[in-house]
Amino acid sequence: MTDRYHHGDLRRALIEAAVTALGESGPGSLSLRAVAKRTGVSHAAPAHHFGDKAGLLTAVATEGHERFADALERAWSETGDFVEVGVAYVRFAVDYRAYFEVMFRIELLHLDDPDLDRARDRSNRVLYAGMDEEAAEAAPRLAAWSLVHGFAVLLMAGNFDEEVAADPEAAVREIAAQLNDLPGADRGDRR
């Protein structure tokens, strides 16, 4: 299964190798050749499946958005609390750092890829699942998204002190409480 000429599911294997490599060193120093070697194929094998480096990262980002949407969806359906969706947002960034680092680095991706487009759309929709569609105008959505995304990004870039970094989820709940018209869960029952 491993040393045949045809790999079987090389595409899958390359994506997984890329993800583990990303987890070790980040997207900046990811090398197609290293991913190929890790998978046991020649240096040009990835090009056939993904076209170029951005193509591989696009595939990773697509898979990332799918997992991301799953995680957010799960959080919402399990708790019904919009804040917990935000917590899941940050938890994903921490637990699936390799994916998260790629998903929002658009200069590394093929934005015209239809699969990526679909996946991004879904995770976008899922994020807002808990909000009353008509009532909430744009501002609360933007605020909530910005808040949680900014927190995740700053956290991963090491901008917070140890206390916050030690228990990010608790910190998210605290800062989420700073939003006055918390969208989603029926207003008024909060606090």
Partner DNA sequence: AGTCGCTTCTTGATAGTGTCAAGATTTGCG
Partner DNA sequence: CGCAAATCTTGACACTATCAAGAAGCGACT
In the complex, the residues that contact DNA under the rule CB under 7 A are 4-8, 10-11, 30-34, 36, 41-45, 47-49, 51-54
- CA dist 141 to 42, 128, 183, 185, Å? 46, 7, 7, 13
For residue 145, report the phi and psi dihedrals to the nearest 5 degrees.
Answer: -65, -50
> Distance between CA atoms of 19 and 146, rounded to whole angstroms?
26
Q: Minimal CA–CA distance to 151: which of 129, 172, 180?
A: 172
For the bound state, the minimum distance from the C-beta of residue 10 to a second copy, rounded and expressed in Å, comes to 26
Q: State which of residues 20, 31, 42, 146 lies at the interface with a second copy (CB under 8 A).
A: 146
When asked if residue 106 is in the footprint of a second copy (CB under 8 A), the reply is yes
Query: Could you say which residues in the range 37-56 bind a second copy, by CB under 8 A?
Result: none
Q: Which does 38 bind (CB under 5 to 8 A by kind): DNA, a second copy, none?
A: none
Q: How many CB atoms lie within 10 A of CB 129?
A: 16
Residue 145's binding partner among a second copy, DNA, none (Cβ under 5 to 8 angstroms by kind) is a second copy
Q: How far apart are CA 180 and CA 160, in angstroms?
A: 24
Residue showing tokens 């076209």: 51
142 near a second copy, judged by CB under 8 A = yes
- Of 72, 65, 66, whose CA–CA distance to 103 is shortest? 65
The answer to the question of residue 135 lying near a second copy (CB under 8 A) is no
Of 15-23, 33-41, 68-76, 178-186, the segment contacting a second copy by CB under 8 A is 178-186
Tell me the C-alpha distance between 36 and 96, whole Å. Answer: 22
- Return the number of the residue (61 or 176) whose C-beta is nearest DNA: 61
Tell me which residues touch a second copy (CB under 8 A). Answer: 26, 28, 104-108, 138-140, 142-154, 157-160, 163-164, 171, 174-175, 177-181
